């Protein structure tokens, strides 16, 4: 088991990690490798001023190791802002494991990964993300206490996906209130891209309110299953970004809001569960603003998951979890109104509030 924390001088010789656009004063970037299990992982600890870094582990078959590094840097930074704006005493961190979870994920690999997490001594708590299940977190828990999102039968808060979806639903309703003067989703056409655990729950919530839900996913079998469950329509076109709708909800991987898609978009609101939806938060946030599309910042409205797993650290129950998640509605409205009043992007408004909280805590120390 090898843990490598590179110094600045080493990185300048080997590769420009500190020069990456996604590198934003991260406190630690830990590269982990274990030959016996085939584990290759990267842990990014962005900021721990408010508390220990918490963020899920994503297992994905990245095209290159640089793609994996870029992803963990962007995701861990987003977790810092997510915790700060939600009022949690947590910092931001994230981990990625390189590889196809259907092919290489084993209990042994997960335990090895857990041992790496343990070497950080509580600076980073891991949890479930793409390519992971609650049972994987149970396995990690066998070798380290620094994991959340374990099964309720083992004393944890369980699968965070339903709570994540509920937070996105609250943010979507707030954005609808801001845009249309009412938060009712009945009759609204909603494009939901990505029907994983969170995406499916969002389909359920919006369908039950009477929205006209259109779903898209690379897994055709999954689409048929969700269609029959909730009466959603499957998108049959060739380019979902050109589809006319009230709301676009990206719930798969990030960076779907980019130079190629923004000109095509014909929606009033973007409110989804995916992390890092803006490929470049400055450029694409401004382009959405100019186009008059209301963007509900992803790191705010998808914070239900971190609220859920934070309960394991703080020891509060289901009622408090749901109350804190429901508050995403009010916070989203506040941010949208602040952005309008100050003529800045909604993403910039949200980051400003998060950074103010971090700075205030830093000045207290």
Q: Kindly list the catalytic residues.
A: 94
In 3D, which of 80, 122, 55, 147 has the Cα closest to residue 362?
80
3-state SS string over the chain? CEEEECCHHHHHHHCCCCCCCCCCCCCEEEEEEECCCCEEEEEEEEECCCCCEECCEEEECCCCHHHHHHHHHHHHHHHHHHHHHHCCCCEEEEEEEECCHHHHCCHHHHHHHHHHHHHCCCCEEECECCCCCHHHHHHHHCCCCCECCCCHHHCCCCCCHHHHHHHHHHHHHHHHHHHHCCCCCCCCEEEEECCCHHHHHHHHHHHHCCCEEEEECCCHHHHHHHHHHHCCEECCCCCHHHCECCEEEECCCCCCECCCCCCCCECCEECCCCCCCECCHHHHHHHHHHHCCEECCHHHHCCHHHHHHHHHHHCCCHHHHHHHHHCHHHHHHHHHHHHHHHCCCHHHHHHHHHHHHHHHHHHHC
């Amino acid at each position: 088991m090898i843990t490598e924390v590179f110094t600045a001088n080493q990185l300048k010789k080997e590769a420009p990690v500190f020069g990456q656009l996604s590198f934003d004063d991260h406190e630690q970037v830990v590269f982990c490798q274990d030959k016996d299990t085939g584990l290759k992982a990267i842990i990014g600890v962005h900021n721990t001023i408010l508390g220990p870094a918490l963020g899920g582990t994503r297992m994905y078959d990245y095209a290159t190791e640089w793609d994996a590094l870029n992803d963990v840097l962007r995701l861990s930074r987003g977790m810092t802002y997510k915790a700060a704006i939600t009022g949690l005493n947590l910092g931001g961190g994230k981990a990625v494991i390189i590889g196809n979870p259907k092919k290489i994920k084993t209990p042994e690999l997960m335990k090895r990964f857990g041992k790496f997490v343990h070497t950080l001594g509580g600076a980073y708590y891991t949890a479930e993300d793409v390519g992971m299940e609650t049972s994987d977190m149970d396995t990690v828990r066998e070798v380290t206490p620094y994991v959340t999102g374990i099964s309720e039968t083992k004393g944890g808060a369980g699968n965070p996906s339903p709570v994540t979806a509920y937070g996105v639903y609250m943010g979507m309703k707030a954005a609808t209130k801001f845009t249309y003067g009412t938060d009712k989703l009945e009759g609204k056409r909603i494009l939901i891209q990505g029907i994983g655990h969170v995406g499916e729950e969002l389909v359920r919530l919006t369908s039950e309110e009477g929205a006209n839900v259109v779903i898209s996913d690379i897994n055709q079998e999954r689409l048929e299953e969700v269609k029959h469950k909730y009466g959603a329509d499957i998108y049959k076109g060739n380019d979902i970004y050109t589809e006319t709708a009230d709301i676009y909800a990206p719930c798969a991987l990030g960076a779907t809001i980019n130079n190629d898609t923004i000109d095509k978009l014909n929606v009033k609101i973007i409110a989804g569960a995916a992390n890092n939806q803006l490929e470049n938060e400055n450029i694409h946030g401004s382009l959405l603003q100019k186009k008059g599309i209301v963007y509900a910042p992803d790191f705010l409205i998808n914070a239900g998951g971190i609220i859920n797993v934070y309960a394991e650290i703080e020891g509060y129950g289901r009622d408090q979890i749901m109350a804190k998640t429901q508050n995403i509605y009010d916070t989203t409205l506040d941010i949208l109104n602040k952005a309008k009043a100050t003529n800045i992007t909604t993403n910039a408004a949200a980051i400003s509030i998060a950074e103010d909280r971090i700075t205030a805590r830093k000045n207290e120390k």
